[in-house]
Chains A and B, each alone.
Chain A
Amino acid sequence: MRTIRYILQKEFIQVFRNKTMLPMIFVLPLVQMLILVFAATYDLRNVDLYLVNQDQSATSRELVGKFEASPFFRIYDASFDLKDAESSFKKEEAEFVMIIPPGFERDLVREDEAKVELLINAIDGNKASLIYSYTLGILSRYNKEVIAEWKSLPEFNPPHRIEVKDSYWFNPELDYKWYMAPGILAILVTIIGMFLSGMNLVREKEIGTIEQLNVTPIKKYQFILGKLLPFLVIALFDLAFGLIIARLVFDLPIVGSLPLLFGFAALYLVGVLGLGLFISTVTETQQQVMFITFFFMMIFILMGGIFTPVESMPEWAQWLDRINPIYYFMRIMRMVVLKGSGFFDLWEEFASLTVIGTVFLGLAIWRYRKTAS
């Protein structure tokens, strides 16, 4: 016990004596929360709309007014000629062209049906589908108003009408920052865990201290624990720090239990730190650790469902995600923070993370050799 305590003490002394470590611990969460959360947003604002209104009727102007009033769109320019719109579109000035054909009002009145044409720049597929759905929202709302206005006579009122009323649970205002913040925090915790632990162990190899350490009766588990616990504590500290920033800056609601969240974070970190340490036991230099760790990080993060929903990935990718610790932790973060899920809602994640943690940490302890072959 005394040995472990002293090993931990030594690791902490070294961490805090390291001039780049302390700023990292504080700057990393600040930068990630304040920059990345805003940058990684899917919120749509001020999309440049090129308007080709060939109808010029009261109805079409009313429709244009709806777009003008929307915070999502900004009328970039307007013209009668479709060619102007097309050239602006090609020059990437306007991101979206709406064409109201001549006779729009007439068709609407006479035939109860009128057409509007949309051209959307789909280089960014996500954005294009967002523009499309926002536009559709405006058009259908306008459609309802028109129906209500024109056909307010009782005999025209359709007796059965299905009204779709949507409400978004757990994130009622569809605030992307609330959605991103827990995800970014998960990345933060992962970076701290995986990189710092692995780099620290391999540094002992690089500067040769491992040679001196290996001839001592120090036990494998003591050594690995000494490399694991300090970074676990630092990562949890950063998680707390990041949550405080998110609470203060984005007003992030933390619905679930904090002890549960931190308990899960600790469990998750055992796995991630274990992997970091395992990597460092099979490498010789910090550079190698960097490369291999980065490789795993990229895959874990991009497949983990932070930016894209896992459900829309191909089946084999979803299957692979079963061994991706970030996938579970991401779910836990969002479910506990935004939804307030309890332990029993997350028992599957708990079981999976326990298995992953045991395997990775086991590998690290098994691979750490006090003797070279």
Chain B
Amino acid sequence: MAKVKGAVEVDVNRCKGCELCVFACPSKVLALSQSVNDKGYAYAYMKQPELCIGCASCAYMCPDGCIKVYKIKE
């Protein structure tokens, strides 16, 4: 069976750290960073990138449209 692998790219300085993507992710890939962006918000990043399936739930939930989703089939 073809395995689907995904990845997300977060626009760090656009992110406001609302954490909605973290709760929306079915694979628990995302988390908020320990460091902060230019505005002083902790931003979302891929804590467990190997689990991402590229479902785009995080990007659909993101109010600010910070997330780009990529997907490949192996």
Same complex origin of A and B: no
